[in-house]
Chain A
Amino acid sequence: MSSSEQTKPLNVTERRSTIEEFLEYCAAEKNNRQNSGEPFDAESFDQGVEIALQKLTSLQKEGWT
């Protein structure tokens, strides 16, 4: 690995906003919890997601990215 030929430009990291990243995580987490066999309160979970989403949207409007 001593020449430039061995080095290629890295793939650009998938470009997603924080909100998109968060929603993706929540969707995966919900799926995990629903299939965990443990009791799962989907309504509370969705409310939690909604609150966080509102906060992130509000922060995004303030300039947080």
Chain B
Amino acid sequence: MIIQNLRAENILKYKQLDLQEIPPHGLIAISGQNESGKSTIGETICFALFGRTFSLDHNDIGKLIRWGENRCSVTIGFIEESGESFELSRSLDIDGNHSARLCRTDDRDNPMATGAETVSHALFQLTTFGYDEFVESFYLAQREITSPQPHSLTLKTIAGLSTLEKGAFTIEEEVHRDEANITKIEQELQQQQDELVTMEFDPDHLQELQRQKSHADQEQHKLTERIDHYESTLTAYSRTYPQLLSHTTAHSRLTFWLGLNITLLLIVATSWLLMTIQPELKQSWLNIFSPLLPQGMGWMALPLIPLFFLRKSYSSSIKRLRLPGVALGAALQDSDHGLPPELGKRCNQLAPQATESRLEGAKLTQEIEPVLKALKSNQQESAAKSKKMIEPIQVEEQRQVQTATLGQSIARLEGEMDELVSHNHSRIISIELLAGASRHLSRRFNHVIREHVGMTLPLFTENRYEHLQIEDDMTIRVFSNEKRGYLELDEISSGTQRQIMLAVRLALSQELASKRVQSNQFLILDEPFAFFDQERTINSLAVLPELSEDLPQIFVTSQVFPDGAAFQREIACSRETTVLQ
């Protein structure tokens, strides 16, 4: 940022301040007696840029308004590295109303930002430094020249450490947060593991219970089937038994009649054959039957076929009607389902009788009744056993679900914890790296500052002090050429201290301009040579414009400048003047 012009009204002693065409390079001398308004120029620039001055913060800024006036205003024009020109206007009234406006010089109708806060933000985007960095480097106020504070955020920002330290700090916070989370998870994990141990769930026990129930269910099922089979076959047996009896009787009768018929037919056929072979028999008494024989054979043979088929039909029917008995007999034969021995024996006795349908239905039902009763008793016993198993199995299954849920939860927690631990491990490495990089940058920053200081210190101190030693904590020692050793700052005079601090301040300005701002930058030095003799002042003034290519425009104030000093512009202030142009 190079200042091109500055216009102000009613600021401190000035009714009007109008500095145009300010040289972009070289020294700009501001001279005058005490209270002539020299420092006001620097304060006006500071107010224009940041809405406050070194001595008046935002709460007291109203004191900036010229005595007796209601309002003050300032407009500063500046150019950035890009070559673009900007104009920042700011006004303040005694009621505390504060307005600001930032625009490009070639586009004043369209401001980039309006309002104090917005302008402040936009200016930071443009210049990349704020008030704190400004007063620590580019603006040396008259009253302020102290040793840099090692813990100052501004100094760390200039050194490039603040981002690294902020990063390390936020990661450390994350580590602490996750450590707390890990502790919480560990406690939860321990609690769940204890709970799991307390449950003492044995999967084999559940399997055994399930096996027992399954066995009881199968037994019950088999018994139910067996009982149903007994009952259905017994019912069928009882239903078919009378029919079987009648069919068996009919079949027997038919067998008798069929046998009789065949016998007679054989007799008649034999007689007819004999008479045919021995005709002499025709002469006997048999001769009277001879004409009837063929006819008789015909009559006898005639019912033979229906009888045969009718008998066959009965045979089939009997065979079908005996099936329930056969089935029942087979069932009785296979009746070993936990029956008492005497009942088993009885079943074996009844089996052939049922198979051959030798017993009447009612009788057989009566005989089988104890068997059925015993089977039903066994069935009920199995059912009761199965039912009894339900609750313990349910309890075990529930415990199994709880165990599985706990197991999953434990696995999840262990996973979460491992992830957090691993992430924290990486975070700790990142913190170490950020701290290492901070140390590295800090040392390099100190080295750079030492180098910068080495260019001006001998000049400011007439070669009595050549270089500084800056520790990591920004403790400064200075090398005395006379004493050939390092001295603490408090071992040397306050005038020399001020000279050393000026060299340090210039070094910080150079570093900030080159590292952060990365643009040509103005510098304001308010009474920097108050403790310098004339020769040193002349030498210092000669070297300042060439101090750094990043700091080409330097405002210097002094009551009187020595003759022979070369300035690009001289601004003379006086106590009586309220208008400066």
Contacts and interface: CB of A to CB of B under 8 A. Distances in A.
A33 B516 CA distance: 31
Contacts of B429: 44-45, 47-49, 51
B516 A65 contact: yes
A64 B542 contact: no
A10 B539 contact: no
Contacts of A63: 124
B171 A55 contact: yes
A60 interface: yes
Contacts of A64: 162-163, 166
By size class, the interface of chain A is 20 to 34
Contacts of A18: 160, 163-164
Interface of A: 1-4, 7-10, 12-13, 15, 18, 21-22, 25-26, 29, 44-45, 47-52, 55-56, 59-60, 63-65
A51 B426 contact: yes
B568 to A, nearest CB: 15
B518 interface: yes
Interface of B: 124, 128, 157, 160, 162-164, 166-168, 170-171, 425-434, 436-437, 440-441, 448, 451-452, 455-456, 458-459, 462-463, 510-511, 514-516, 518, 535, 539, 542-543, 546-550
19 contacts: A2-B459, A4-B542, A10-B455, A10-B548, A13-B511, A13-B515, A18-B160, A21-B437, A22-B433, A25-B437, A29-B436, A44-B429, A47-B429, A52-B430, A52-B434, A55-B171, A56-B167, A64-B163, A65-B157
Given A1-B459, A7-B455, A10-B451, A65 B542 contact: no
A26 B162 contact: no
Nearest to A60: B163
A12 B430 contact: no
Contact of A56 (B157, B163, B510, B548): B163
Contacts of A45: 429
A59 B425 CA distance: 22
B433 A52 contact: yes
A27 to B, nearest CB: 11
A23 to B, nearest CB: 9
Contact of A4 (B164, B452, B546, B549): B546
**What does DSSP make chain B's interface, helix, strand, loop or mixed?**
helix
B167 A59 contact: yes
B539 A51 contact: no
B459 A7 contact: yes
A3 B515 contact: no
Contacts of A3: 539, 542
A10 B547 contact: yes
A22 B437 contact: yes
Contacts of B170: 55, 59
Contact of B426 (A7, A9, A12, A48): A48
A49 B160 contact: no
Contacts of A9: 546-549
**What does DSSP make chain A's interface, helix, strand, loop or mixed?**
helix
Contacts of A59: 163, 166-167, 170
A59 B428 CA distance: 18
Ordered nearest first, which 7 A-B pairs have the shortest CB separation?
A48-B429, A4-B542, A52-B430, A47-B426, A48-B430, A51-B430, A25-B437
A65 B426 contact: no
A52 B167 contact: yes
B344 to A, nearest CB: 77
B399 to A, nearest CB: 42
B426 to A, nearest CB: 4
A8 B511 CA distance: 16
Most buried by A among B157, B427, B434: B434
Contact of B515 (A15, A55, A56): A15
A13 B514 CA distance: 6
A9 B459 CA distance: 14
Contacts of A47: 426, 429-430
B426 A10 contact: no
A22 B163 CA distance: 10
Contact of A22 (B128, B434, B547): B434
A26 B470 CA distance: 25
B154 to A, nearest CB: 13
Contact of A15 (B124, B436, B451, B518): B518
Contacts of A51: 171, 426-427, 429-430
Given A4-B542, A52-B171, A65-B516, 4 more contacts: A12-B548, A21-B441, A47-B429, A51-B427
A16 B475 CA distance: 26
A65 B430 contact: no
